[in-house]
Amino acid sequence: MQYQWPNGLLDASRKFSIPDVPDFKTMASLPVQLVVGEEDLEIIDTDPASNAGEGMGETRVDKIRRLKAALYEIEVQSELEVVPSAGHSSEQMIPALKVWLGPLINGTGNK
């Protein structure tokens, strides 16, 4: 099954010389975490030409929730962490990432 990725990831197969990206069957067998800041509320419009206008007028919080739902529809389980009081900052996501990755690193898993 081939799905169109959003603008910026659309040509990942070509950019990274990896065929069949994304591979949802493999993704379904792996733990997946989605992280966004609660205050990441800037409206980010995708390029209507690249994604048929999907997501127009949505914040990153809206988009990641829609992504989680879309992954669920194709049987890719994921965990969504909305980090309180955080904006669009990778630094503010680190504590949530550490908590989520801890069990994976220790061998106790997340899935």
Q: State the average pLDDT over residues 35-56.
A: 69
Structural domain contains residue 6? no
Structure tokens at 42: 């800037």
Structural domain contains residue 1? no
Q: How many structural domains compose the chain? A: 1
Cis amide prior to 103 (ω within 30 degrees): no
Full domain range(s) for residue 76: 31-105
d(CA 3, CA 23): 10
Structural domain contains residue 72? yes
User: Where does the pLDDT of residue 77 fall: very low under 50, low under 70, confident under 90, or very high at 90 and above?
Assistant: very high
Structural domain contains residue 58? yes
Q: According to the model, what pLDDT value does residue 54 have?
A: 55
Task: Give the lowest-confidence range in 42-46, 90-94, 105-109.
Answer: 42-46
Structural domain contains residue 97? yes
Q: HSE (CB half, 13 Å, CA atoms) of 102? A: 6
DSSP H helical ranges for the chain: 12-16, 24-28, 48-51, 60-73, 90-105
